[in-house]
Amino acid sequence: MCVAMPGRVLSVMDGIARVDFDGNLIEARADLVQVKEGDRVLVHAGLIIQKLSATEAEEMDAIFAELRSAADLREIMGESDENR
């Protein structure tokens, strides 16, 4: 039930955003997140619950760099960046 889909805002008027999900256009309420045209957003059951940033890959690598410094994960993943 906690399904939420990422889409891109096409326009916003009176607190209602038109959001493009790969060609499917839907309307979503924008009461809880300030959005503008072009923003990538997460929509849950007709409500924008968050604006999406584009940092996933970098932050994942940062976590593993930190974990790699711990002995147990170093054994699994290798010492350096060779597994990237």
Partner 1 sequence: MRTADLVQAIAAYDGKPLTIMEVCGTHTAAISECGIPSLLPSTIRLISGPGCPVCVTVSAYIDRLIQLATSPNTCVVSFGDVLRVKGSSGDLRSTKGARVEMVYTPFRALELAESDPYTTFVFAAVGFETTAPLYALLVEQIIARGIDNLKLLTALKTMPAVIRTLCQEDNTGGNACTADFFSTIDGFIAPGHVATVTGSALFGELAQEVGKPFAVAGFTAPSLLAAILALAGSAGRAEVYNFYPSAVTAEGNLEALAKVDRYFEPCNAAWRGLGTIPHSGLRLREAFAHLDAGSDALTADHIPAGCHCGQVIAGKCAPANCPMFGKACTPESPIGACMVSMEGACYHHYINDRR
Q: How far is the CB of 16 from partner 1 (least distance, A)?
A: 10
Cβ nearer to partner 1, comparing 23 with 69? 69
Tokens 């999900």 -> residue = 21
Taking the least distance from each CB to partner 1, the nearer of 8 and 64 is 64
| 13-19 long-range Cβ contacts below 8 angstroms, 24+ apart | 17/41, 17/48, 19/43, 19/48
**Where on the chain is the footprint of partner 1 (CB under 8 A)?**
1-4, 29, 31-33, 42, 44-47, 49-50, 52-56, 59-61, 63-64, 67, 70, 72-73, 76-77, 83-84
Give the distance, in angstroms, between the CA of residue 43 and the centroid of all CA atoms in the same chain: 11
